[in-house]
Amino acid sequence: MPKKDAHTLVSQMTLDEKIHFVVGNGMKLPGGGDGGAAVGATEDKLPGAAGTTYAIPRLGIPSVVLADGPAGIRITPIRNGDSTKTYYATAFPVGTLLASTWDTALVRNLGVAFGNEVKEYGADILLAPALNIQRNPLGGRSFEYYSEDPLVSGNMAAAIVNGVQQNGVGTSIKHFVANEQETNRTLVNTIVSERALREIYLKGFQIAVQKSNPWTVMSSYNKVNGTYTSESKDLLTTILRNEWGFKGLVMTDWFGGKDVVAQMNAGNDLLMPGTPAQRDTIAAALKSGSLSQKTLDENCERILKIVMQCPAYNTYKFSDKPNLQAHAQVSRLAATEGMVVLKNEGSTLPLGKNIKRIAVYGNTSYEFISGGVGSGDVYEAHTVTLTEGLSAAGYTVDRTLQTAYQPYLLKERAKAPKPQYFFSLPAVLPEMQVSSEAIGHSADENDVAIITIGRNAGEFQDRALENDFTLSNGEKGLIDNVTKAFHRSGKKVVVLLNVGGVVETASWQATPDAILLTWQPGQEAGHAVADILSGKVNPSGKLAVSFPMQYSDVPAKDFPGKNLSDIPEKGVGGFSLGYNSEVKYEEGIYVGYRYYNTFKVQPAYPFGYGLSYTSFTYSGLKLSSSTFNKTITATIFIKNTGSVAGKEVVQLYISAPTDKIQKPAEELKGFAKTRLLKPGESQTLTFTITPADLASYHTDAVAWVADAGTYSVKIGASSADIKSTAVFNLPAAITVQKAHDVLKPQMTVNEMKQ
């Protein structure tokens, strides 16, 4: 039978079917009833998936399954207590680690494996990637996000969308837009200038839409300049569809927004997870005329066009047997490519051939964190612990320490408050105290010490400053005591940062010999760490987010915003609070390195920074012309001048003329990672610079304009390590795109100025 087109099918739907079709089937938590908690598991079709759409069997329209999350498909691993058949998923590295690979080809390949798992477990649309900006280190979901920079965020998102969708399943780029905090996320009004919105917060989504064609977009919980994003026609229709050409469907975040009719009229096609009250409201609005039949039909048609692409519509017989072994290798490879060596004094790493016995310190060494909590969590069968990884790599892990930590953690865990919800953070246990005698003994008995500092975070809560962004006294004391003892014995100390977001390092980074930022590396954690420590893999990761010297240096000063109600403030951290609030993005476009470089504030570790076990030279920077005409290409010659094979992440920054409007000192406009270069090998990298790359958003002109003047092309190993510079001139301004004068703040945003 010839496939009917969506328009025809919609015309055959009854009114009641249309009303049901734009509202999800609800949230059925086991024991939680219909419409229970904000995020959880629906028992329809695929247990543990986040939601499903309404089926219309008489028209051959199935229900499709929407499943979280950005680091792996989150579904219930054991059904009805029957563990003879399990549904564990692969826990891939978290978003911020993937961005630290700076390798879109690798991330795309990971997406292919990831999408296969989504398909073979019977889901249709993956509720990922998440690409909000890491504006402030205390943001609770930074682990799920990619970067402080929209070019990295957008390209990483596009890469994983292309990979996942290659399997014939969909994605949902989220949370659209300006949802950079958890505190009060469903009520907070993000107040932000049009320029910062366009250049920083929308830009990543624009890149993702135009480079990967995601099937769906998930609008965010918050308001932008006074209007809920899910209710904003300016955002969802004028910008997303009319300016950017998005063709897919827009869904709400779970129970996001308030005014259902405004959502329908805005172009927020699908209300998830869906409640009966929403259907009643739509029915009443149709009767009263506040919602037109035409709009309802348009929303139905956009949903149906996506449904018709889904495996469920094409009755795909999924296996429930994705190749988890193969995907584990994909996860391990990505993890090694995204870890970042921050310090490596005296070539402590890779561990020498003579290093066999390892003293492993730190609670988290024995409870290694694969990923964050909340909808971005994954239920993997097993996380390879650090000690397992080290042992598998042939190291001998100090038994005395292991047999001290393990019972300590068991006892403390037993005493700690139990997580209340699936998205609750596990209690942070006090660092086990180790006597100086025991530490001294371990320094005699072992060849090196490893200390892991762990941090976890997730949905519903932002991070705290003390003992979260900063290290606890117990952690600092451990680093000091172990380092003193091991240095006395002529041995070295490596600190591992098993964290999902930025932590303070300046006050202690001088103490240990090496620091490896493992991030939250997914299920193959221990193996990936051992691959790097042993030198089996030469680290090539670089930071996609700045590490500030201290929290007070962070330019995003207003976080998490001001309480507008009379509920007493509880400050940052802890469960997101349900009070009306507003947060002002007064740093404007000066987020992360855009601020540190422009205002000359030294970070502890700069954006784009990461060490290798080899060294590279940059030479021969050449521009195709010294005058810009249509495009300019920049070529650079990278050579491995060290003794081991390695890959180099090369960044292209632009410094633009500032006579028309203020601009950051540098902005990232291109990046590339070399292939694995053997010692002595070299590679020429070519970057193409377009007018869009040069354009800034001119609010008064309501347009993207590349201003006339002299531009500097800066090729860097990081945002603070420019290797080579060349200049070109743009003789006359180019208006790259006229925009629409929308999403204006209701008040002047008192933005940071140079």
Catalytic site positions: 253
What letter represents residue 6's amino acid? A
| Residue 397 near residue 387, CB atoms below 8 Å | yes
Name the nearest CA neighbour of 400 among 445, 367, 364.
Answer: 445
Closer residue to ligand GLC (CB): 68 or 462:
68
Query: Which two three-digit tokens encode residue 248?
Result: 């897919």
| Residue 697 near residue 704, CB atoms below 8 Å | yes
Closer residue to ligand GLC (CB): 251 or 720:
251
Closer residue to ligand GLC (CB): 125 or 495:
125
Least separation in angstroms between residue 127's CB and ligand GLC is 4
Least separation in angstroms between residue 68's CB and ligand GLC is 5
Name the nearest CA neighbour of 751 among 190, 195, 133, 199.
Answer: 195
Q: Distance (Å, rounded) from C-alpha 510 to C-alpha 95?
A: 28
Q: Distance (Å, rounded) from C-alpha 415 to C-alpha 410?
A: 9
Residue 217 backbone dihedrals phi, psi, to 5 degrees: -125, 140
Q: Distance (Å, rounded) from C-alpha 213 to C-alpha 413?
A: 45
Closer residue to ligand GLC (CB): 68 or 475:
68
Closer residue to ligand GLC (CB): 254 or 671:
254
Least separation in angstroms between residue 460's CB and ligand GLC is 8
Closer residue to ligand GLC (CB): 125 or 349:
125
Binders in 439-478 for ligand GLC, by CB under 6 A:
459
Closer residue to ligand GLC (CB): 127 or 439:
127
Q: Is 235 in the site for ligand GLC (CB under 6 A)?
A: no
Binders in 614-673 for ligand GLC, by CB under 6 A:
none
Q: Distance (Å, rounded) from C-alpha 276 to C-alpha 266?
A: 21
Beta bridge partners of 34: 28
Q: Distance (Å, rounded) from C-alpha 139 to C-alpha 460?
A: 10
At a CB cut-off of 8 Å and minimum separation 6, what does 111 contact?
A: 159, 160, 161, 162, 163, 164, 165, 166
At a CB cut-off of 8 Å and minimum separation 6, what does 97 contact?
A: 334, 335, 338, 339, 519, 520, 521, 522, 541
Least separation in angstroms between residue 304's CB and ligand GLC is 22
DSSP at 381: S
Contact mark string toward ligand GLC, 164..203, x via CB under 6 A: ----------x-----------------------------
Q: Is 609 in the site for ligand GLC (CB under 6 A)?
A: no
Compute CA distances 591 → 25, 280, 610, 732, 745, whole Å: 39, 43, 20, 29, 19
Member of 44, 68, 269, 475 binding ligand GLC (CB under 6 A):
68
Closer residue to ligand GLC (CB): 299 or 375:
375
| Residues that contact ligand GLC, how many (by CB under 6 A) | 10
Q: Is 39 in the site for ligand GLC (CB under 6 A)?
A: yes
Least separation in angstroms between residue 219's CB and ligand GLC is 11
Helix axes 104-120, 150-165, angle to 10 degrees: 40
How many C-beta atoms lie closer than 10 Å to residue 652's C-beta?
Answer: 24
Binders in 694-753 for ligand GLC, by CB under 6 A:
none
Least separation in angstroms between residue 555's CB and ligand GLC is 25
Exposure pattern of 250-259 as b/e (b: 16+ CB <10 Å)? bbbbbbbbee
Member of 50, 260, 516, 533 binding ligand GLC (CB under 6 A):
50
Name the nearest CA neighbour of 665 among 590, 603, 749.
Answer: 590
Member of 9, 13, 38, 97 binding ligand GLC (CB under 6 A):
38
Least separation in angstroms between residue 143's CB and ligand GLC is 12
Least separation in angstroms between residue 394's CB and ligand GLC is 40
Contact mark string toward ligand GLC, 337..376, x via CB under 6 A: --------------------------------------x-
Q: Is 254 in the site for ligand GLC (CB under 6 A)?
A: yes
Pairing mode, strands 125-126 and 562-563? unpaired
Least separation in angstroms between residue 38's CB and ligand GLC is 5
Binders in 119-138 for ligand GLC, by CB under 6 A:
127
Q: Is 64 in the site for ligand GLC (CB under 6 A)?
A: no
Query: Which two three-digit tokens encode residue 470?
Result: 């900063």
Closer residue to ligand GLC (CB): 218 or 543:
218
Q: CA-based angle 461:431:501, to the nearest 5?
A: 35
CA 23 to mean position of chain CA atoms: 28
Binding-site ranges for ligand GLC (CB under 6 A): 38-39, 50, 68, 127, 174, 253-254, 375, 459
